[in-house]
Homo-oligomer: A and B are copies of this chain.
Amino acid sequence: MGTPFNAVLTTAEMSAVFNDNAIAHAMLRFEEALAHAQAAEGMIPLEAANAIASCCRAELYDFSAIIVESRTAGSLAIPLIKALTRMVRENNEPAAGFVHWGSTSQDVIDTALVLATRDALVLIERDLDKLIASLLELAERHAATPVLARTLLQPAQVISFGLKITGWAAPLVRSRAQLGQLAARALTLQLGGAVGTLSIMEEHGEKIAQRVARTLELGVPPAPWHTQRDEWIRLGLEVAVLVGSLGKIAIDVALMCQAEVGELAEPTYNGRGGSSAMPHKKNPVSVMIALAAAQRTPHRAAAILTAMAQQHERGLGNWQAECAEWPELFSSAHGALSALAHAMPGLQINAARMRANIDAQSGLVFSEAATILLASHIGRDRAHALLEELARDVIAIDRPLEAAMQAHLATDTALQKAVDAEQLHRCFDVDGAAEHSAKLARARIAQLRAALHREPSCREK
């Protein structure tokens, strides 16, 4: 339903792809292409096709009245085709008989949804490309910037912020490729006539389908897919996967934007992220939009999956439910994508705070490294036990773990034979720890760039 609460979470561009006008336009494009194809195959007179085509302009119709009628008819197509037929009849009476010839409601509605979806994917890919580009740039810039890795929301070890960002980018690159491949299979013409056999068009069926598809620049499916919608559903699910990957970025950024963490901040522009009550607030509204999308989208995915059990040759309720759910996938996805694509280039990165948060851990995040160093000399059990004991002291008497270990080493002459202070010191080297990540990050950035290069865009397909 069109509510302001939905509007906040999507974009005007995406709303325009699926609104009344766009769908009316797409439905009429289908009818026009069908008439022309049938004329070209000699099924209907050319003059009739021209007369029909001249009436296939959305601005000629009051689509809001058509929607009112569609509630009674149970289908958008029925009143639209009535209105089109009426209009054609006024212009060219005999042509009226050839409107929508041999086709059915589902043909025009499904194909219109395919056309709108193609437009939606152009927006998705455009902003996906932007987001990927800015992430890879950030990853490069911060390839070696040390940051806490956190597991189960607790500090774990040190990685680099660039490596973390490659983790954000990689699934987006994969989604981009998947969307391209699945779109190529799913963005196909629906043309099956009353029950999917195009029987009325007899031997012309296949050729007409090819002509209509060519005109609309759509693929021709191996068979009409009216109640066998798996390829279409896969495309929708990939949008849901993309939103899941955006949600992962968003939750990480949101957590790093917390004042107590302070490692990131969303860019602040005029009017962005303020509060109606508190002058000091800087709310992370881009990630908010992405998080809302990540919460809502799985339920849309479930809804289109639920709708798959479509009865016989046209579903009762499930097809209609799927059509209504479908645009919401893109609505949320583009809201999230454009919000992140807009925020990422200006993301405020506080590398000093990242390091301070590491330092605040008093060396505890190097405990595994230190354990491993000692383990090869005193066995892992003793090493682990020693580290646990020293770790308690870190908290109890606020002494950094390295200091505690060096003090221990100074008194343990046996250990001194195996480990020297310098070796021990290297275990606690923040930049050293990040350097390993930096190597990984740089290799992955190169891989991702190569993958992007290899994969043509959706739009070129």
Given A227-B167, A303-B296, are A312 and B151 also a contact pair (CB < 8 Å)? yes
Q: Which chain B residues lie closer than 8 Å to A103 at the CB level? A: 276-277
Task: List 13 additional contacts besides A96-B381, A102-B372, A296-B321; criterion CB under 8 Å.
Answer: A1-B18, A2-B3, A72-B271, A151-B283, A197-B437, A197-B440, A202-B436, A234-B238, A248-B310, A259-B360, A294-B309, A295-B303, A295-B317
Interface 9-mer from A33-41, A123-131, A239-247, A414-422: A239-247
Instruction: Tell me which of A73, A153, A199, A248 has the highest count of chain B C-beta atoms within 10 A of its own C-beta.
Output: A153
- 9 CB contacts below 8 A, A to B, read A7-B67, A98-B380, A149-B194, A149-B312, A150-B311, A156-B275, A250-B309, A279-B384, A294-B308
Please classify the interface of chain A as helix (H, G, I), strand (E, B), loop, or mixed, using the class held by over half of its residues.
Answer: helix
Is A407 among interface residues, defined by CB-CB distance under 8 A?
A: no
- Give the shortest distance, in Å, between A375 (CB) and chain B (any CB): 6
Is A456 among interface residues, defined by CB-CB distance under 8 A?
A: no
Is A188 among interface residues, defined by CB-CB distance under 8 A?
A: no
Q: Which chain B residues lie closer than 8 Å to A340 at the CB level? A: none
Q: Which chain B residues lie closer than 8 Å to A247 at the CB level? A: 308-309
- Give the shortest distance, in Å, between A34 (CB) and chain B (any CB): 12
Is A237 among interface residues, defined by CB-CB distance under 8 A?
A: yes
A231 to B7 Cα, complex, angstroms: 26
Number of chain A interface residues as a range:
35 or more
Q: Which chain B residues lie closer than 8 Å to A355 at the CB level? A: none
A394 to B291 Cα, complex, angstroms: 30
Interface 9-mer from A74-82, A134-142, A210-218: A74-82
- Give the shortest distance, in Å, between A256 (CB) and chain B (any CB): 9
Q: Which residue of B lies closest to A43 (CB)?
A: B376
Assess whether B105 is in contact with A312, with CB atoms less than 8 Å apart: no
A321 to B328 Cα, complex, angstroms: 12
A365 to B197 Cα, complex, angstroms: 14
A144 to B379 Cα, complex, angstroms: 50
Is A423 among interface residues, defined by CB-CB distance under 8 A?
A: no
Partner of A320, one of B5, B252, B317: B5
Assess whether A272 is in contact with B368, with CB atoms less than 8 Å apart: no
Given A8-B67, A251-B311, are A285 and B149 also a contact pair (CB < 8 Å)? no
Which A residues from 430 to 458 make CB contacts under 8 A with B? 433, 436-437, 440, 444, 447
Partner of A279, one of B290, B305, B387: B387
Assess whether B194 is in contact with A278, with CB atoms less than 8 Å apart: yes
A97 to B380 Cα, complex, angstroms: 4
Which A residues from 157 to 204 make CB contacts under 8 A with B? 157, 159, 163-164, 166-168, 170-171, 174-175, 178, 193-197, 199-200, 202
Q: Which chain B residues lie closer than 8 Å to A257 at the CB level? A: 153-154
Is A90 among interface residues, defined by CB-CB distance under 8 A?
A: no
Assess whether B318 is in contact with A292, with CB atoms less than 8 Å apart: yes
Is A367 among interface residues, defined by CB-CB distance under 8 A?
A: yes
Assess whether A306 is in contact with B299, with CB atoms less than 8 Å apart: yes
A279 to B62 Cα, complex, angstroms: 25
A8 to B75 Cα, complex, angstroms: 7
Q: Which chain B residues lie closer than 8 Å to A369 at the CB level? A: 199-200
Partner of A8, one of B74, B94, B277, B299: B74
Partner of A3, one of B149, B315, B327: B327
Instruction: Tell me which of A280, A283, A292, A313 has the highest count of chain B C-beta atoms within 10 A of its own C-beta.
Output: A280
Assess whether A260 is in contact with B77, with CB atoms less than 8 Å apart: no
A165 to B104 Cα, complex, angstroms: 22
Is A4 among interface residues, defined by CB-CB distance under 8 A?
A: yes
Assess whether B222 is in contact with A447, with CB atoms less than 8 Å apart: yes
Assess whether A230 is in contact with B258, with CB atoms less than 8 Å apart: no
Q: Which chain B residues lie closer than 8 Å to A248 at the CB level? A: 227-228, 308-310
A163 to B223 Cα, complex, angstroms: 11
Assess whether A70 is in contact with B309, with CB atoms less than 8 Å apart: no
Q: Which residue of B lies closest to A168 (CB)?
A: B228
Is A364 among interface residues, defined by CB-CB distance under 8 A?
A: yes
Which A residues from 86 to 118 make CB contacts under 8 A with B? 89, 94, 96-98, 100-105, 113
